[in-house]
Amino acid sequence: MKIITGGVCAAKGFKASGIHCGIRKNRTKKDLALIYSECPAKAAAVYTTNLVKGAPLTVTKNHIADGIAQAVICNSGNANTCNANGMEIAEQMSDLLAAELGIQSADVVVASTGVIGQPLDITPIKNGIPALVAGLSYDGCDAAAEGIMTTDTVKKEVSVEFTLGDKTCHIGGIAKGSGMIHPNMATMLVFITTDVAISAEMLQKALSSDIANTFNMVSVDGDTSTNDMVTVLANGMAGNEEITEDGENFATFMKALNTVTVNLCRMIAGDGEGATKLLECKTWGAKDNATAKTVAKSVICSSLLKAAMFGADANWGRVLCAIGYSGADVDVNRVDVSFKSKAGEILVCKNGAGVEFSEEKAKEILLEHDITILIALGDGMGCATAWGCDLTYDYVKINGDYRT
């Protein structure tokens, strides 16, 4: 298995496109994206747990109830949420795209991201769809990735190549996510494509299983979005024997999917609004994996810990504090904490108490972009990983006038 280029276009039979159609005022920013499979694909998705959901999620859920989709359309700059005509607009988006592509409207995944509660005019989307379709290309992933960005500062895309039997297969994905990111699926927009032949049921099983340890373990700011989802399309063009049950091929597929999703998780966390650092919290030695996950998420969500990481302050007490209020069944007298980066690793807490360490070395470690918080719980075999970012002045600046 190896990382390759191509993103959502790495898999056979997938094209993508992205344009500026006029939803966003800044004409240099793309605001409409398209992913298209040359043949109908099996489809699976997971959705936000927020009770307030964007109309596109409801439309998409209805469209892929049969486990089939062929295209994904996504606009940025407007979430199409809490709008009286939201469902109508989302259906119009799929109808207009389907007519241009010559496919069934029910085979279109619809997504929107941006400001909540602002009416979405269908006119720029309607006018832009012909150019969007005309721009479809096997090299179009970059344009599509740019088209779904809001406050993201970098495009997020990754793809892998692997084999099933004697067939070469691919999985690729793009994501948007910078703010309003918090565990409890889905907390970002992620679109994944693959040329693997797999049943809709097994595709959904793979996705639902994977997100529990990937996207549900990412937090930027503690806010669970209203609009976001993860969608996978599998068109079977790799020609492998269709995966219809658990086994070696399904395990290989799961590993490849996880490689893509973990990479996207790290990109999303590292590009948190105003962030200067990617934080990764690794916990092990818990009574079970659920306990390890609770601890890791609590630490990564701590505003005080995130602020300390911004200041390169080895304030390990904030780690212990987050563990203590997490609700996890942990013996704090067995907890060890270390900080690690490419500048080195330093133990700051042993058996729940502080140890002597060099503040200068600790600061050197915490001044790096990628920081790992290592937590040994000393009580079992459970382990987990969570991802987040530091909390900076710029986060407040970005969200202080996000709508206006």
Q: Which pLDDT score is estimated for 34?
A: 98
What is residue 72's three-state secondary structure? strand
Q: Quick one: which of 113, 181, 225, 192 has its CA closest to 386?
A: 181
CATH 3.10.20.340 residue ranges for the chain: 278-400
140 - beta bridge partners? none
- Output Rg (C-alpha) for the chain, integer angstroms: 22
What pTM value is reported for the model? Answer: 0.90
**H-type alpha helices, 112-247:** 122-134, 141-147, 200-211
Domain with CATH 3.60.70.12 in the chain: 2-270
Q: Tell the CATH superfamily of the 278-400 domain.
A: ArgJ beta chain, C-terminal domain (3.10.20.340)
Q: Measure CA 254 to chain center.
A: 16
Pure H helices in 344-383: 359-366
Beta strands in 166-238 (DSSP E): 167-176, 189-194, 229-234
Q: For the purposes of burial, counting CB atoms within 10 Å of the CB of 118, is it exposed (0-12), middle (13-18) or buried (19 or more)?
A: middle
- One-letter amino acid for residue 372 of the chain: T
pLDDT mean for each 10 residues of the chain (404 residues): 97 98 92 98 89 86 97 94 92 98 98 88 98 98 95 92 97 82 57 98 97 87 63 98 98 98 92 88 98 96 94 97 96 97 98 97 98 97 95 82 64
Catalytic residues: 187
Question: Which of the following CATH numbers is that of domain 2-270: 1.20.1440.230, 3.90.960.10, 3.40.50.150, 3.60.70.12?
Answer: 3.60.70.12
